[in-house]
């Protein structure tokens, strides 16, 4: 970036002041919050995120420095809840992903179910337990999804990401109304709560732990070197027995 295109020091200072103002506004909104999903807090959060991002960009462009904090963008959070305060109905939307880690184990489990109940494969095709799609149909027809989730290794499955959303409404849906497209008409502002499970979160924790371990190993190496220095600061020859 050329010097002419760089922000001025005054612009960086103004952006820093905007962050301070946004921080005060966010704290005031939190102190006055009227509920768990107060729209004023949500708005103040987004304003703070925008101000911090602008300051970070200007600081980097001008001084090649960054801020030590990161605020998630608005797209990473659900909008404030605007559904009924006393809902008469809720919907629970669940998605669980699995990898078919051991297809033979899956087939064997389906064959056991089919042997105990010959009618278990009805509607899934002839010799259903001999194919992966047929075996899945048998197992998910025999066991509740929660039981499969808790016993997934027995069925040759490996867990992937999962998410659970609870939405609220004034009236329950008419029978059969949404069966053709169960997840198509979800209003994010009707979501009461949401729970996500992903290997991404574990990887982030592992990366942080690796960084701590690296620092620890570096400190240990430095300590080892310190013990090999003589009084003049020169390295002493290592003992052959060490």
Quote the pLDDT of residue 235. 41
Predicted TM-score (pTM) of the model is 0.53
Segment 177-225, tens digit of pLDDT: 899 888 887 888 889 888 888 887 666 556 655 655 555 555 554 555 4
- What contacts 169, CB < 8 A, 6 or more positions away? 83, 84, 87, 88, 89, 90, 91, 190
Cα 203 to Cα 161, 209, 210: the distances in Å are: 13, 10, 10
In whole angstroms, give the CA distance from residue 164 to residue 106.
25
Segment 64-97, tens digit of pLDDT: 998 887 665 444 566 778 888 899 999 999 999 9
pLDDT at 242 over 60: no
Task: Please give the share of the chain, as a percent, with pLDDT higher than 90.
Answer: 44
């Amino acid at each position: 970036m050329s010097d002419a295109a760089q922000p001025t020091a005054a612009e960086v200072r103004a952006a820093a002041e905007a962050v301070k103002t946004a921080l005060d506004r966010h704290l005031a909104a939190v102190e006055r919050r009227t509920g768990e999903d107060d729209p004023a807090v949500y708005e103040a959060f987004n304003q703070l995120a925008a101000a911090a991002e602008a300051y970070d960009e200007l600081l980097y462009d001008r001084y090649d420095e960054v801020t030590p904090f990161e605020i998630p963008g608005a797209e990473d959070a659900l909008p404030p809840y605007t559904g009924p305060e006393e809902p008469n109905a809720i919907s629970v939307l669940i998605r669980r992903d699995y990898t078919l880690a051991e297809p033979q184990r899956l087939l064997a489990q389906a064959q056991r179910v089919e042997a105990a109940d010959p009618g278990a494969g009805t509607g899934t095709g002839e010799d259903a337990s001999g194919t992966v799609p047929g075996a899945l149909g048998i197992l998910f027809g025999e066991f509740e999804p929660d039981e499969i989730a808790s016993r997934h290794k027995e069925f040759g499955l490996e867990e992937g990401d999962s998410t659970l959303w609870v939405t609220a409404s004034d009236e329950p849906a008419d029978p059969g109304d949404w069966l053709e497209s169960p997840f198509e008409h979800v209003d994010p502002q009707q979501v009461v709560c949401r729970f996500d499970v992903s290997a991404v979160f574990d990887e982030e924790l592992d990366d942080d732990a690796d960084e701590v371990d690296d620092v620890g190993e570096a400190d240990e190496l430095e300590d080892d070197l310190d013990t090999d220095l003589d009084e003049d600061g020169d390295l002493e020859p290592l003992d052959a027995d060490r």
